[in-house]
Amino acid sequence: MDQIQLRNRLLVASGMWREAVAEPLPKMPPGDPAAQIQQFELRLVDRLWEMATPETAREIADRTWDLVHDRPDSDPVKQRVVECHEALARMTHLGD
Protein backbone atom coordinates (compact mmCIF):
# COMPACT_ATOMS: atom_id res chain seq x y z
CA MET A 1 0.00 0.00 0.00
CA ASP A 2 1.43 3.37 -0.92
CA GLN A 3 1.98 6.29 1.42
CA ILE A 4 -0.81 8.39 -0.11
CA GLN A 5 -3.39 5.65 0.51
CA LEU A 6 -2.18 5.25 4.09
CA ARG A 7 -2.33 8.99 4.69
CA ASN A 8 -5.83 9.20 3.25
CA ARG A 9 -7.04 6.28 5.37
CA LEU A 10 -5.57 7.90 8.47
CA LEU A 11 -7.17 11.25 7.66
CA VAL A 12 -10.61 9.71 7.13
CA ALA A 13 -10.44 7.55 10.25
CA SER A 14 -9.06 10.28 12.52
CA GLY A 15 -11.66 12.77 11.28
CA MET A 16 -14.42 10.25 11.91
CA TRP A 17 -13.02 9.53 15.38
CA ARG A 18 -12.97 13.23 16.27
CA GLU A 19 -16.55 13.75 15.06
CA ALA A 20 -18.13 10.66 16.52
CA VAL A 21 -16.12 9.60 19.54
CA ALA A 22 -15.19 13.03 20.89
CA GLU A 23 -12.19 11.69 22.77
CA PRO A 24 -8.48 12.13 22.12
CA LEU A 25 -7.10 9.89 19.43
CA PRO A 26 -5.82 6.63 20.91
CA LYS A 27 -2.11 6.03 21.20
CA MET A 28 -0.88 3.29 18.94
CA PRO A 29 2.11 1.10 19.72
CA PRO A 30 5.14 1.48 17.48
CA GLY A 31 5.12 -0.63 14.37
CA ASP A 32 4.34 -0.87 10.71
CA PRO A 33 2.24 2.15 9.63
CA ALA A 34 -0.20 0.03 7.60
CA ALA A 35 -0.80 -2.25 10.59
CA GLN A 36 -1.17 0.75 12.92
CA ILE A 37 -3.79 2.36 10.68
CA GLN A 38 -5.67 -0.92 10.33
CA GLN A 39 -5.73 -1.36 14.12
CA PHE A 40 -6.94 2.21 14.54
CA GLU A 41 -9.71 1.66 11.98
CA LEU A 42 -10.78 -1.54 13.74
CA ARG A 43 -10.87 0.32 17.03
CA LEU A 44 -12.93 3.08 15.43
CA VAL A 45 -15.46 0.63 13.98
CA ASP A 46 -15.77 -1.09 17.36
CA ARG A 47 -16.30 2.20 19.18
CA LEU A 48 -18.92 3.37 16.72
CA TRP A 49 -20.72 0.05 16.99
CA GLU A 50 -20.63 0.20 20.82
CA MET A 51 -22.17 3.68 20.69
CA ALA A 52 -24.99 2.64 18.35
CA THR A 53 -28.60 2.82 19.44
CA PRO A 54 -31.67 1.90 17.39
CA GLU A 55 -31.99 5.60 16.56
CA THR A 56 -28.38 6.01 15.39
CA ALA A 57 -27.79 2.58 13.83
CA ARG A 58 -28.42 3.71 10.26
CA GLU A 59 -26.00 6.63 10.63
CA ILE A 60 -23.34 4.35 12.16
CA ALA A 61 -23.83 1.87 9.31
CA ASP A 62 -23.41 4.63 6.73
CA ARG A 63 -20.30 6.05 8.41
CA THR A 64 -18.58 2.72 8.75
CA TRP A 65 -19.42 1.77 5.16
CA ASP A 66 -17.88 5.05 3.97
CA LEU A 67 -14.67 3.87 5.60
CA VAL A 68 -14.44 0.58 3.62
CA HIS A 69 -16.76 0.62 0.60
CA ASP A 70 -13.96 0.47 -1.96
CA ARG A 71 -11.88 -2.22 -0.25
CA PRO A 72 -11.74 -5.89 -1.17
CA ASP A 73 -13.93 -8.29 0.79
CA SER A 74 -10.78 -9.83 2.28
CA ASP A 75 -9.88 -6.56 4.07
CA PRO A 76 -10.09 -7.13 7.86
CA VAL A 77 -11.66 -3.72 8.51
CA LYS A 78 -14.31 -4.34 5.85
CA GLN A 79 -15.02 -7.74 7.37
CA ARG A 80 -15.53 -6.12 10.79
CA VAL A 81 -17.80 -3.49 9.26
CA VAL A 82 -19.92 -6.22 7.67
CA GLU A 83 -20.20 -7.99 11.04
CA CYS A 84 -21.25 -4.73 12.66
CA HIS A 85 -23.80 -4.04 9.95
CA GLU A 86 -25.40 -7.41 10.59
CA ALA A 87 -25.69 -6.58 14.29
CA LEU A 88 -26.99 -3.08 13.54
CA ALA A 89 -29.59 -4.55 11.18
CA ARG A 90 -30.80 -6.89 13.92
CA MET A 91 -30.93 -3.94 16.30
CA THR A 92 -33.13 -1.85 14.05
CA HIS A 93 -34.48 -4.22 11.41
CA LEU A 94 -32.62 -2.25 8.71
CA GLY A 95 -33.07 -5.20 6.39
CA ASP A 96 -36.88 -4.91 6.40
Residues 40-62 pLDDT 10s? 999 999 999 999 998 899 899 99
d(CA 59, CA 92): 12
For the chain, what is the domain count?
1
**Considering the chain, what is the average pLDDT of its residues?**
91
Asked if the structure places residue 35 within a domain, the reply is no
Average pLDDT estimate for 9-21: 94
Asked if the structure places residue 52 within a domain, the reply is yes
Asked if the structure places residue 12 within a domain, the reply is no
3-state helix, strand, coil in the chain (%, to 5): 70, 0, 30
pLDDT single digits (tens) 64-94: 999 999 999 999 999 999 999 988 888 876 5
- HSE on the CB side for 27, CA within 13 Å? 2
Asked if the structure places residue 31 within a domain, the reply is no
**pLDDT on residue 40:** 96
Helix, strand or coil, per DSSP, at residue 36: helix
Residue type, 18: R
d(CA 3, CA 10): 10
